[in-house]
Structure 1
């Protein structure tokens, strides 16, 4: 079994240091096999914000953790127009990682990160043709028994972003991206961006979407909350490519607590879910309830 912590949108520059420290304490206690951070390390891609984010990543690595990181749209300068177009991810590469499409593989999982942040799209994401080929090539030689996980900052699909049924824009080259994911037989697609927790079978979202399980992370440490969701991150137990447990770890104002605990099983066509009873529920507040309501 692989144990994976999936954090996103940590937004140094608009973060709560107390919550940052709490994520570190929780991770050290639980000892994940891999920590994934799916973008938006900073609020405005400023040097001091990247230095803080770098120190955070270095502390995790110094504790012995493997970290797979990809940039988000907030890691591209917004107001520094020259840098935005001339060297959009120069600071990210200097302080976080020079690898914009990182790869992790062990005996149980194969994980590919893809950079979807772009200068021109401001907040929206995009995948280019070279990255589509990379998805195919990287997963082509992976043992069929391993769980294939794709990580992006921007979701590949249009996602629910409010309680009124409104949907986000899908990532650029959406149709090509979905086709690539299908052909590569990706089992799990992880993303962030919207500061909202969500999980669903891709087949229930888009026709001909393939067999992926779509999992969104909320914001782990940012003070920029949406829809009254508190800070949270995802805790995954990946047993094999047709059985995955997801638990949302939720900030209750004083500490992180285990929230809803859901097992997803793949029957060869769709992912089905069932709630597990062994998870400790967070302190019952409307915010905590909102954070886990979409995980079902």
Structure 2
């Protein structure tokens, strides 16, 4: 069985393009994902009006009948309201989006865990704590071996290439411990956002002892805040059995969302290998659904 997953991130209500927002909804309605993931930064500055807009958006997605898994991002923590930032950093997120900061989704083919990496003590960087690392190991411990294990965070657990010069980002706080927990839990795919750039790579090529994990980063789906001239985009995943994952970037052209780069990743027992998928291949035709 194949699971079709739409992975959106950094929708930034308060700094978003309404036309692009409507286009994401139309695309989801047409292509009928089995799960929609939003990996953080639902708002620009965690204001009530912005959360109301974000809540209306996620409720429209839910009303379409799609399961939805969200995690907060650093922009969902108030920046200028110091009292709220430290006393109730994600109070508005809990009120408007989801009271569960570490949501879980499981189907016949995938098991997906979201982990909150947003913290009040940092303005943009993320962190993961001991309880969350134990949760990663505990939740995936009871998952059937033939299911694909997916971990969702806002901040990438790994250093990611950013910018045109190939420089690397800062990894999430307690990075080494997080990687060990993920490897111990047998996570196959790690999804994140934060940098407004699309990127997919085998974790083994970036971090030693990362385990058999494929790291996929989503661009910004609806924000007007671009990085390196990269326009709005989101990821369309087809997760097959036996560690076989297709990733296609769905990119905004200025008029509509169109299919972009499409790669099929397979795990050979030691590392992931990606093969570009042509438009006329069976995989490409299947992904069009």
| CA 157–279 in structure 1, closer or farther in 2 if over 3 Å, else same | farther
| Cα distance, 1:161 vs structure 2 | 1.0
| Matched residue, 1:39 | 40
| Matched residue, 1:17 | 18
Q: Is the 8 A contact 1:258 1:279 kept in 2?
A: no
Q: Is the 8 A contact 1:3 1:237 kept in 2?
A: yes
| Matched residue, 2:266 | 265
TM-score (norm 1): 0.94
| Cα distance, 1:279 vs structure 2 | 7.5
CA distance in 2, matches of 1:259, 1:175: 33
| Cα distance, 1:241 vs structure 2 | 4.1
Q: Deviations over 1:133-158 (max 9, x none)?
A: 00000000000000000000000001
| Matched residue, 1:178 | 179
| CA 268–58 in structure 1, closer or farther in 2 if over 3 Å, else same | same
TM-score (norm 2): 0.96
Q: Is the 8 A contact 1:72 1:117 kept in 2?
A: yes
| Cα distance, 1:240 vs structure 2 | 1.6
Match of 2:251, SS state, is strand
Aligned length: 280
| Matched residue, 2:63 | 62
CA distance in 2, matches of 1:122, 1:86: 15
Q: Deviations over 1:181-220 (max 9, x none)?
A: 1000000000000000000000111111111000000000
| Cα distance, 1:163 vs structure 2 | 1.2
| CA 192–279 in structure 1, closer or farther in 2 if over 3 Å, else same | farther
Q: How does 1:140-159 map to 2 (within 5 A)?
A: 140-159=141-160
Match of 2:37, SS state, is strand
Report whether the alignment pairs 1:224 with 2:222.
no
| Matched residue, 2:85 | 84
CA distance in 2, matches of 1:130, 1:25: 38
| Matched residue, 2:236 | 235
Q: Is the 8 A contact 1:187 1:241 kept in 2?
A: no
Unaligned runs of 5+ in 2: 282-289
Deviation beyond 3 Å, 4+ runs, structure 1? none
Report whether the alignment pairs 1:198 with 2:199.
yes
